[in-house]
């Protein structure tokens, strides 16, 4: 913690950056995103297992308020670094325009409000297959990287269950979960990779995605969200954590991640130079489904 504060203080004092995006104590037991703009404010920065948010989201160009604070330094976990790499890969952020502070993480809580200590049962699912290493994007590394050892992600078992169902059963399942969706759009707002200035879902002429929260509009929204994130989603699961309706969005993002990995050999990477699978192709991509 001291190391992090010291670093932030130095970066702000010598005007290397205008803002350090990190975490601070929030109301109750949770932490919240923090924007330190002076060396004094660097004192409020914290980092521990409650720091679940993906701060790479704040680097997206649509966050104009954050951009107005000057050059950012951002505190990233290994998972967040992949989102940052995605933004660089897709030309939304220039690598030289951001200072990357990689923090040794070791896993975060699934529910930071629980007040529980980090354990096998309490850890966020995405941490289960994380190697915990500092990202190669790091300008500064804080803490000794350690690999969390929490077994395989639980979402995979749920996926296998769904996969074992018949198609009508799966349709019924998604109908039941999508019927909870109120189209509050928090899954989009929280997503580091949803950076369009104007989302397709907000366009009304033509209206590709019906905006009312009925099943037909919800199916269109969740399918097109999955398509727009396929091969781009880094699996930070912020959408699922933020969803007030408890929709298991990680099932969909994880499924698409597997499709992309099996078909195109791509997994989310913290190397911005690895081309995104949707911006590239191979002459011999499988086409067994095309007549």
Give the integer Cα–Cα distance in Å for 223 and 215. 12
Q: Residue 209 pairs with which residues in a beta bridge? A: none
Strand partners, 22: 34
Six token digits for residue 22: 């990190």
In the bound state with another protein, the residue whose beta carbon lies nearer, of 95 and 203, is: 203
Which one among 220, 242, 245, 274 touches another protein, defined by CB under 8 A?
220
- Shortest Cβ 41–another protein spacing (Å): 44
- Judged by CB, which is closer to another protein: 2, or 166? 166
Among 113, 152, 214, 244, which residue sits at the site for another protein (rule: CB under 8 A)? Answer: 214
291 lies in the binding site for another protein (CB under 8 A):
yes
Say how far apart CA 12 and CA 16 lie, in whole Å.
Answer: 6
Q: Which of 149, 152, 216, 271 binds another protein (CB under 8 A)?
A: 216
Q: Which residues, including other chains, have CB under 8 Å from residue 149's CB and lie 6 or more apart?
A: none
Nearer to another protein, 95 or 216 (CB): 216
Q: Which is nearer to another protein, 146 or 203 (CB)?
A: 203
- Pattern of binders to another protein over 144-183, x per CB under 8 A? ------------------x----xxxxxxxxx---x----
Q: What CA–CA distances, in Å, run from 202 to 57, 188, 211, 214, 221? A: 20, 11, 8, 16, 11
CA dihedral (162, 163, 166, 170) positive or negative = positive
Contact with another protein (CB under 8 A): which of 61, 158, 255, 269? 255
Q: Which lies closer to another protein via its Cβ, residue 66 or residue 209?
A: 209
CB count within 10 Å of CB 216 equals 11
Burial of 71 (0-12, 13-18, 19+ CB in 10 A): middle
List the structure tokens of 62: 């649509």
CB 276 within 8 A of CB 232: yes
Among 49-57, 64-72, 127-135, 217-225, the segment contacting another protein (CB under 8 A): 217-225
- Smallest separation, CB 32 to another protein (Å): 34
CA dist., res. 142 & res. 23, Å (int): 14
- Taking CB under 8 A as the rule, does residue 91 contact another protein? no
Q: How far is the CB of 98 from another protein (least distance, A)?
A: 29
Task: List interacting residues with another protein (CB under 8 A).
Answer: 162, 167-175, 179, 200, 208-210, 213-216, 219-220, 223-224, 226-227, 230-231, 252, 255-256, 259-260, 263-264, 277-278, 281-283, 285-287, 289-291
């Amino acid at each position: 913690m001291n190391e992090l504060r010291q670093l932030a203080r130095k970066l702000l004092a010598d005007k290397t950056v205008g803002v350090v995006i990190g975490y601070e104590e929030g109301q109750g037991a949770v932490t919240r995103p923090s924007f330190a703009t002076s060396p004094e404010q660097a004192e409020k920065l914290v980092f521990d297992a409650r720091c679940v948010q993906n701060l790479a989201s704040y680097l997206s160009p649509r966050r104009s308020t954050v951009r107005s604070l000057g050059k950012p330094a951002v505190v990233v976990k290994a998972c967040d670094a992949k989102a940052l790499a995605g933004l660089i890969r897709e030309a939304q952020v220039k690598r030289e325009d951001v200072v990357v502070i990689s923090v040794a993480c070791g896993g975060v809580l699934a529910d930071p409000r629980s007040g529980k200590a980090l354990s096998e049962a309490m850890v966020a699912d995405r941490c289960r297959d994380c190697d915990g290493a500092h990202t190669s994007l790091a300008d500064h590394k804080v803490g000794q990287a350690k690999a969390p050892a929490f077994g395989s992600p639980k979402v995979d078992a749920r996926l296998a269950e769904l996969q074992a169902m018949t198609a009508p059963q799966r349709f019924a399942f998604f109908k039941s979960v999508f019927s909870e969706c109120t189209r509050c759009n928090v899954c989009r707002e929280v997503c580091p990779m949803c950076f369009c200035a104007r989302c397709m879902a907000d366009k009304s002429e033509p209206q590709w995605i019906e905006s009312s929260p009925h099943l037909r509009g919800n199916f269109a929204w969740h399918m097109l969200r999955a398509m727009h994130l396929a091969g781009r989603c880094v699996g930070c699961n912020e959408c699922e954590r933020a969803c007030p309706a408890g929709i298991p969005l990680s099932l969909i993002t994880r499924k698409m991640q597997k499709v992309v990995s099996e078909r195109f050999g791509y997994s989310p990477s913290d190397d911005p130079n690895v081309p995104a699978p949707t911006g590239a192709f191979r002459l011999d991509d499988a086409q067994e489904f095309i007549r």
